[in-house]
Structure 1
Amino acid sequence: MELGSILIAILFIVAYLAGLWKLFEKAGRPGWEALIPIYNTYVIVKLTGRPLWWFFLMLIPVIGFIVAIGIMVDFAKSYGKYTFWQHVGAVVLPFIAFPIWGFDKETRYLGQSATEEFKEKYPYKKSTTREWADAIVFAVVAATLIRSFLLEAYTIPTGSMEKSLLIGDFLFVSKVNYGPRVPMTPVAFPFAHHTMPIIGTKAYWEGIKLDYYRLPGLEPIERNDVVVFNYPMDADEPFNRPVDKRENYIKRCLAIGGDTLRIINAQVYVNGQPAEKPEFAQKLYYVKSDGTDFNLDKLREMNIDVHHSTADEYYFNMTSQEAEEVKSWPIVKEVRQRNQEELFYDPEIFPHNPNFKWNADSFGPVIVPAKGWTVKLDSTTIPLYRRAIEVYEGNKVEQSGAQLMINGKVANSYTFKQNYYWMMGDNRDNSLDSRFWGFVPEDHIVGKALFIWMSWDTNGEFLGKIRWNRLFKGIH
């Protein structure tokens, strides 16, 4: 955090505490109680007249945030502040509202606003407009909290996970399983991810940035989990987006921090053992026919993507089960999986270095970084881990030959600060994944895909656009 941001944060805290000190004194409480963290919140609850269990509700993640909003509104009412904007000030800008009210001679403590006695003594009826405004604000806040900390809807936009997940599948993604990530760019337009609809401008403000922090989750990320995460390459030009505003991607986690991953003839190996193949994983297959045309209706029914080469040669994108079925057709002479050859260098493949003659079907071995793992830095490791050290972990990296300087000091090794993951799509020849851009850092993890709640086939007929057999289907 820059010095200017630190000074502004200190100023806000001092202003908030000074205002709270004066407000406590107006209520007959010692002002110094405002300076004691947590206890000062307990005093605020007491001054509103809410029961003590409300204080403990505030300690529960997500629920506590909603309860805290209600408490701050009650606190404002206890000092005769009833307007919509006064309540916004108490909740959003207390470091401004509290000092103004605390040092205002006209402002006084009226009593415990949450009690029936107070409501009878100081009756206040909201206008219809105010009722609607409060309802809308509450709905937006509640929905934003649920979306940020509990559950978020996600749509499959591309075919990289077919046929495990189809274009038009609508998923629910759990933030709770791996632990909700506290927003790192908290000032943003509700329900817009990174771009405002219609006008196309940024939907967030980077004036306030928070460090990465994740609340406790129900489980760690495991191999073969289907995970939603922020696309790491959005850190670069032309977007330069903050971590939590980078595009959402969905892939399958094939390796976790500490694993050694290798791909041989399109088969993924993790720690020397063949990785479990997803049931509906797809690959390109070379198919040779006897020259007879294929039944297009049958191929459409099987959702097989066909690339025609010559009169009798085709490439079918399909699962291994479908390949076996196609092989049994009388007009088919040959079916074999199309794999790129070993030592064939593809410059689009990570780490984009000709010394690593890797491609999408022949890759590695590479060790996925784990938190606390120390890697020796030399000509064989720098190309693999430089981006993680520099971009994802925020270090200044300079390189001269095989020598690396980290934050101005010669470095022969580096210890990683967070876990990393290797993500790949089930549609192996139609997926932009870790084979192309490398590791996914832990702070980019959004959540775990749970189930499909709706599936919409844009190519289907009017009455058949909904894929009824996919509704509420679990994701494996």
Structure 2
Amino acid sequence: MQSTEVFQKPAEQKKKKTPLREWLDSVLFAVVAATLIRWLFFSAFVIPTPSMENSLLVGDYLFVSRLNYGTTTPITPLQVPLTHQTIWGTQIPSYLDWIQLPQYRLPGFSEVKNGDVVVFNLPVEHPKAYQKYSNVLPDLHPHPADLRSNYIKRCVGIAGDKLEIRAGQVYVNGKAQENPVRMQNEYFISVNTAVNEENIFRKNGITDYAQFTETFDDTIAANDESGYIVKTTPDLAAKIKTYDFVKRIEPILLSKGLKEPFLFPSSDLIDWNKDNYGPIVVPKKGIKVALTDVNIALYGEVIQNYDGNDNVVFENGKITQNGLPLTEYTFKQDYFFMMGDNRHNSADSRYWGFVPKDHIVGKAVFVWMSIDPNPTSLLGKIRWDRIFRIIQ
């Protein structure tokens, strides 16, 4: 009997990836993973200005949780991954606004609460608002809602709250709000001798100080007094007061009824300032208001720019829709009132108004790195005591 041999076709070997292909695959995976993590879970954020000092310092690097309030779906899908407004290290826009999608918010763990430190998109980069606020915030440019500049402030008023500031103290619904632990205000320190500024101020963590001159308000000091204007916390002010060269130390507060320029809202009907502001009701979804002259000044920009209305015109103290005057209005989403903890050096809701809920990005959770932009020595560039500090 003759045997027959069975010949099998050798299996084709899998084509081996080139080093370049493996590298490209790894980069693609890393970009996709980082983009999903940044969108769904948390983002990194750096403090660029002193508006939150002494709670957060310039050079603090934060993790911002998007899970707390629920992440939002992108409005502008045509964007270079892992960028915001511009391509890294250039002024070239990183997005195209040819397509604008409706925004949705995924479920979160909680709602924004009074006292939360919140990252949000700056509302007044709206195309109809940015030029009006260029005196308060220089170099503003219009951007889509999800790509407006990231700001960080503390929420002091949630939707429906009646908020008022009296002599620098925030009141919500008639009750004094608990002040942040490291909140700063401006003080005048009267001294009777020369001061070693490095030893007295820098070593006490006071970085914002200036020698008193006649360019400051002449009601702060008597004619024969010399001293300093400093921004610091009440605890540090009390400590400085115990030094033997200090004659007195007093908070600097604007008087009630003294109208401050560039404050929100811009209206001759209101004479508020940063230390005496309101009362003002924060817009809440479903709440109806009568559009009196004062309410038009307070809520006109909300109705025109942020509540999804068409054909609304707000100008010269009047508001119309489709050419007809509006006499009452029901808000379509919640809003928030935000303030910096550095109360006398913060461009916040007192200067540009309310933050819409659809502009909320996330809750600041903790500092993971802190770099001093003006270190006294090379070894002091990293602020080791701030690393992994929980944000209060």
TM-score calculated relative to the size of structure 2? 0.87
Deviation of 1:199 after TM superposition, in Å, equals 3.6
Question: What residue ranges of structure 2 are gaps of 5+ in the alignment?
Answer: 1-10, 132-139, 214-224
Task: Indicate if the aligned counterparts of 2:304 and 2:313 stay in contact, CA closer than 8 A.
Answer: no
Secondary structure of the corresponding residue to residue 257 of structure 1: coil
Aligned to 2:293: 379
Question: What residue ranges of structure 1 are gaps of 5+ in the alignment?
Answer: 1-119
Aligned to 2:55: 164
Secondary structure of the corresponding residue to residue 293 of structure 2: coil
Deviation of 1:258 after TM superposition, in Å, equals 0.2
Larger Rg: 1
Once the two structures are superposed, residues 3-26 of structure 1 have per-residue CA deviations (whole angstroms, 9 ceiling, x without a partner) of xxxxxxxxxxxxxxxxxxxxxxxx
Q: Which amino acid aligns with 1:255?
A: G
Task: Indicate if the aligned counterparts of 1:390 and 1:397 stay in contact, CA closer than 8 A.
Answer: yes
Q: What is the distance in 2 between the residues matched to 1:147 and 1:407?
A: 41
Aligned to 2:348: 433
Aligned to 2:209: 306
| 2:71 pairs with one of 171, 174, 180 | 180
- Structure 1 residues 296 and 399 mapped into 2: Cα distance closer, same or farther (>3 Å)? closer
Deviation of 1:401 after TM superposition, in Å, equals 7.2
Q: Is residue 2:312 matched to residue 1:397?
A: yes
Aligned to 1:277: 179
Q: What is the distance in 2 between the residues matched to 1:296 and 1:400?
A: 51
Task: Indicate if the aligned counterparts of 2:296 and 2:318 stay in contact, CA closer than 8 A.
Answer: no
Task: Indicate if the aligned counterparts of 1:343 and 1:358 stay in contact, CA closer than 8 A.
Answer: yes
Aligned to 1:290: 192
Q: Is residue 2:233 matched to residue 1:319?
A: yes
| 2:141 pairs with one of 239, 245, 259 | 239
Bigger fraction of residues in helix = 1
Q: Which amino acid aligns with 2:265?
A: P
Identity %: 44
Q: What is the distance in 2 between the residues matched to 1:448 and 1:432?
A: 19
Q: Which amino acid aligns with 1:161?
A: M
1:89-238 counterparts in 2 under 5 A? Answer: 125-235=16-126, 236-237=130-131
Q: What is the distance in 2 between the residues matched to 1:323 and 1:400?
A: 45
Deviation of 1:400 after TM superposition, in Å, equals 8.0
Task: Indicate if the aligned counterparts of 2:284 and 2:334 stay in contact, CA closer than 8 A.
Answer: yes
Q: Which amino acid aligns with 1:309?
A: F
Q: Which is worse superposed, 322-331 or 276-285?
A: 322-331
Task: Indicate if the aligned counterparts of 1:377 and 1:413 stay in contact, CA closer than 8 A.
Answer: yes
Q: Which amino acid aligns with 2:235?
A: Q
Secondary structure of the corresponding residue to residue 201 of structure 2: helix
Once the two structures are superposed, residues 188-218 of structure 1 have per-residue CA deviations (whole angstroms, 9 ceiling, x without a partner) of 1122200123441211111111112110001
Q: Which is worse superposed, 388-397 or 302-311?
A: 302-311
Task: Indicate if the aligned counterparts of 1:404 and 1:410 stay in contact, CA closer than 8 A.
Answer: yes
Q: What is the distance in 1 between the residues matched to 2:314 and 2:362?
A: 35
- Structure 1 residues 334 and 137 mapped into 2: Cα distance closer, same or farther (>3 Å)? same
Secondary structure of the corresponding residue to residue 23 of structure 2: helix
Aligned to 2:374: 459
Task: Indicate if the aligned counterparts of 2:300 and 2:319 stay in contact, CA closer than 8 A.
Answer: no
Once the two structures are superposed, residues 255-297 of structure 1 have per-residue CA deviations (whole angstroms, 9 ceiling, x without a partner) of 1000010011111111100111001100111111123435531
Q: Which amino acid aligns with 1:134?
A: D
Task: Indicate if the aligned counterparts of 1:347 and 1:353 stay in contact, CA closer than 8 A.
Answer: no
Deviation of 1:232 after TM superposition, in Å, equals 1.1
Aligned to 2:388: 472
Q: What is the distance in 2 between the residues matched to 1:329 and 1:198?
A: 47
Root-mean-square deviation (CA), in Å? Answer: 1.8
Secondary structure of the corresponding residue to residue 294 of structure 2: coil
Task: Indicate if the aligned counterparts of 2:161 and 2:281 stay in contact, CA closer than 8 A.
Answer: yes
Q: Which amino acid aligns with 1:288?
A: S
Deviation of 1:128 after TM superposition, in Å, equals 3.3
Task: Indicate if the aligned counterparts of 1:347 and 1:354 stay in contact, CA closer than 8 A.
Answer: no
Secondary structure of the corresponding residue to residue 448 of structure 1: strand
Aligned to 2:4: none
Q: What is the distance in 2 between the residues matched to 1:146 and 1:336?
A: 47
- Structure 1 residues 404 and 457 mapped into 2: Cα distance closer, same or farther (>3 Å)? closer
1:245-256 counterparts in 2 under 5 A? Answer: 245-256=147-158
- Structure 1 residues 409 and 335 mapped into 2: Cα distance closer, same or farther (>3 Å)? same
Aligned residues: 357
Deviation of 1:359 after TM superposition, in Å, equals 0.7
